[in-house]
Each structure stands twice: as structure tokens, then as C-alpha cells.
Amino acid sequence: MTVRGSPSARRILVVDDEEDMLETCRRILRLRGYEVETAARAADAISRLEAAPFDLVVADLKMPELTGLDLLERVRRLDPAILVILITGFPTVETAIEAIKKGAYDYITKPFSPDQLTVAVDRAIEKQSLHSQNAFLRRQLQETAKFDEIVGQSPALLQMLEQVRRVAPTEANILVTGESGTGKELVARALHFNSPRRDRGFATIDCTTLPEPILESELFGHQKGAFTGAVANKAGLLETADGGTIFLDEIAELTPSLQAKLLRVLQERQVRRLGTTEYRTLDIRVISATNRILTEEIREGRFREDLYFRLNVIQIVVPPLRDRRSDVPVLAHHFLRAFEKAAPRDIREFDDAALSALEQYPWPGNVRELRNAIERAHSLAAGPVLGLADLPENVRGSGSVLPVATDGTSFRRAKKALNDRFERQFVEEILGRTAGNVTKAAQEAGMLRSAFQRLMAKHKFRSEDFR
């Protein structure tokens, strides 16, 4: 089987109901070294796309039965990685906008010169090559790190994955930064499993979930009798990870006391259990993560600068989903396949309205929020295709400027609908940024926790859906 993106597999499918146009495109593109197949009908093109891999489709806009736009939508559903260039002899601004909005890579008009066609195709193939590099890097990571949750083809993701590949084999401590829900823990696991420490322990702890005394015991361990309830000796996670990697998630939440103790461990490479004077030598690599800007935390006196320099030898920034919009349909299909495999319901694709809404929504909760939305849609869908009605209300309305129609609606009712829409989006965005931490979300909103919880209940939000 050929692999998309290799030189021998740069395959182009040209679709046009005029035989002269098919022959012209075939001749021009074969002279450029491309492997070209042709189809005179959109239905024939779809059959060929289902039977074999292609990098690019070049299609006429005006064809009988199915138009070029119809074919574009079918290609997007079949494989979002295939790029499409549309050709038309009757160009209008409206048609061009519609084509690009529906996902066409480029749009050229008849009559065109050989150079115009080859420039457009060369650009598309170059972009496809970048996608292929990304796919190759992902396969490498999956083979060594079982890291199949990092999905996408965007330049922003490709750049981050390349950085992961370069720094994973080093011994440097890594700081992974990014908004909640972007997948920082997955990056940490990729760093560990692509390092020489891959066969040793990978210990992870969420610094937001435990009160200080318990978190201290979890990190450093304790001796029997060190405090009430310490009925046996217990090794801390720092000891457990000896020879391997420890991942400290949301490192900015550590108290000043624990920051000082962690700094001492990193400086001396020794750890002491609570209730004992014995020090144990450690060989660990520390990967930490935060959704905060630590330089601002330092300025505000909430984080130690010396600890920051110890942790931030190399920084990896995980891009938010809004900077990876081309990855949304790829991720959506990936999650749909995963949920279908876990709980088969014979659901295999999205309709065009649902896919458009997913692409337009800003995803404040990032990949985590997208995954939750697809899981919900998969659970609720009544038929083999996920439709707009199966998506969460806020995602369904993401493409409109006003949340309500004003025709025949009183001012009071329209205002209430607008206010409800604002409340829902406001609460959802804050919960997404704070990973479902209600206390933080209420503080950020400038509200009492109880008032914020009432808003959550009103709009049926659960904090655990954002973690």
C-alpha cells in the first residue's frame, strides 16, 4: 500500500465533465511528475477516492448530477486530509467565498495557463507534504510512546511535535505550558516514553487536587507515626520515580512551603520522608506543566523565581485549539472512531452542518471540550450520521452573530434569550480556562462561589466535564 506524501504517491484526481479539460490537466500535471487519474463524473470520483488514496482533487465547479461543491463536501467527510482545488469558468466573489468556506484549498478560473494550474497544484502538494511529515512524526511517537491521542495536521502542532522529538532524549527538565484542555499531560508522556528513561517509572501528580499536608506526603513519602493516620512507611512519588520521570501537573498551585522543599530536592538530588532524618539519593527528570504564565506569578510573589529556573530549562508551548482550526475536523473524526469502537452504534460521519459548526466554534476548553462534545453527540445521535441537533447547544449556535430571531419576538423575550446565551458562553469559557475548578472560575468571574454554582446549575454545566 502506498503512503500519502511519498514522491511516488503524489496522486492527483482530476474531475471534469469535459474530456478536453481532463486531457489538458492530465498532460500538464504528468509533465510535472505527478501521477494523475481522471473522472468525468463526481460519482465516479467518489468511487475512486474510496478505493485508493489521493493527495489532491482538482474538480470543475459546474458538473451534472453532483457539483464541485457537492464533491468537496463528500471529500471532506471521506478524508479531511485530501486537499481540493476547484475550477470554474464563471467566477463570482460569492462562489469563491462559498468554496473556501466549505474547505477548498484553492480556486482557479478558466481559461487558465499551464503555469497557473501547476503553481496551484505545487502549493497544495507542498502543504500536503507538511501534513505527511506530521503524520510520520506522529507514527514515530505512537510506535515508541503509544501516543495516539496527539492528533492533527496543523503547522502549529507539527512545530510542537518536532520540538518534542528533539528534546525528549535529553536529561533537561521541561516546562510544558498551555491552556487547560490542550493535552499537556500527553506531551509529558511523549517526552518520557521517547527518552532513555522510558523503561523506568513515570509518576504523575495533580498539584490542584490535594491539600498541602496530603500532597507533601504524596511527593516526599512518610515514615510510620510521622502524623496521625501514618500507620505504615510509604515511599513518595519522587522516590517511586527514581531512575524515571515525575510529572507535576499545574505546578503553579504548589504552596510556597512545598515550592521551597521541591527546590531543595532538585538542587541536592536527595529526598527525605516526613518523620525521618534519612536522605535518599534521587535520579529523576522533572516535567512540570501549568496553564498560568509563571513570569507573572513570580512578579506577583506567588511563585519562586529560583524554582522557575530549575523547572524551565526547556519550555514547550502546547497551542490552543483555536490556533489549530484545521485540526478540528481531524480530531472530531478521530474521537468519533474511538467512541464508535468503544460502544458501537453504527455512526461513521458528520453531516455538513455539524462539521461546519464544529469548525466555527472557538473551543475555549480546547481538545478536552471537543472530545466531550463528540462523546455527547455519539451518545445522543439517532441515526448513522451525526447532525447539528446532536451537538451541544452552544456549539450549534457558534456560527450565528445573534442568538435569536427578532421577527415576532417581544423585546423582553429577545433580551432574555440573548442574556441566556451570553451567560452560557461566559460560564463555559471560564470553566474551560480553569479546567472545571469552580473556586477559580468564580474568582475570575468576580462572583461568589454560590452564585457561580447557581449559574452552572441553570445552564446544566458540570465541573467534571471540563477536567
Kindly report, residue by residue over 30-46, the tens digit of the pLDDT: 988 889 999 999 889 99
Scored b (16 or more CB within 10 A) or e, 169-188 reads eeeebbbbbbbbbbbbbbbb
pLDDT at 405: 47
Higher-confidence residue of 420 and 221: namely: 221
What 224-227 contacts at long range (C-beta under 8 Å, 24+ apart), as own/partner pairs, is: 224/275, 225/275, 226/273, 226/274, 226/275, 226/276, 227/274, 227/275
> Please, which residues have CB within 8 angstroms of residue 208's CB and are 6 or more apart in sequence?
249, 250, 253, 435, 437
Domain with CATH 1.10.8.60 in the chain: 323-466
- 302 — pLDDT class (breaks 50, 70, 90): very high
pLDDT at residue 439 is higher than 80: yes
**56-98 per-position pLDDT tens digit:** 999 998 888 888 888 998 888 888 888 899 988 776 667 777 7
pLDDT at residue 324 is higher than 50: yes
**Which CATH architecture group holds 323-466?**
Orthogonal Bundle (1.10)
192-198: average pLDDT? 90
> Chain centroid to CA 293: how far?
20
Q: What mean pLDDT is reported for the chain?
A: 84
Residue the block writes with cell 478521530:
334
Domain with CATH 3.40.50.300 in the chain: 146-317
pLDDT > 90 fraction of the chain, expressed in percent and rounded: 33
The candidate with the shortest Cα–Cα distance to 203, out of 240, 169, 173, 171, is: 240
**339-365 per-position pLDDT tens digit:** 998 888 888 889 888 888 998 899 999
- 3 — pLDDT class (breaks 50, 70, 90): very low
pLDDT at 191: 93
431-450: average pLDDT? 83
pLDDT at 301: 94
Scored b (16 or more CB within 10 A) or e, 357-377 reads bbbebbbbbbbbbbbbbbbbb
Query: Which of 97-101, 102-106, 332-336 is predicted most confidently?
Result: 332-336
- 262 — pLDDT class (breaks 50, 70, 90): very high
Fold of the 146-317 domain? Rossmann fold (3.40.50)
pLDDT at 177: 96
pLDDT at 200: 86
Report d(CA 462, CA 23) in Å as an integer. 58
Domain range 7-132, its CATH number among 3.40.50.150, 3.10.350.10, 3.40.50.2300, 3.30.300.10:
3.40.50.2300
Q: Which stretch of 17-21, 123-127, 167-171, 241-245 has the lowest confidence by average pLDDT?
A: 123-127
6-28: average pLDDT? 82
Higher-confidence residue of 172 and 273: namely: 172
Helix axes 366-380, 352-360, angle to 10 degrees: 160
pLDDT at 135: 57
Domain with CATH 3.40.50.2300 in the chain: 7-132
CB atoms within 10 A of CB 439: 11
Higher-confidence residue of 404 and 264: namely: 264
The candidate with the shortest Cα–Cα distance to 55, out of 124, 150, 133, is: 124
pLDDT at 233: 76
- 8 — pLDDT class (breaks 50, 70, 90): very low
- 412 — pLDDT class (breaks 50, 70, 90): low
pLDDT at residue 402 is higher than 70: no
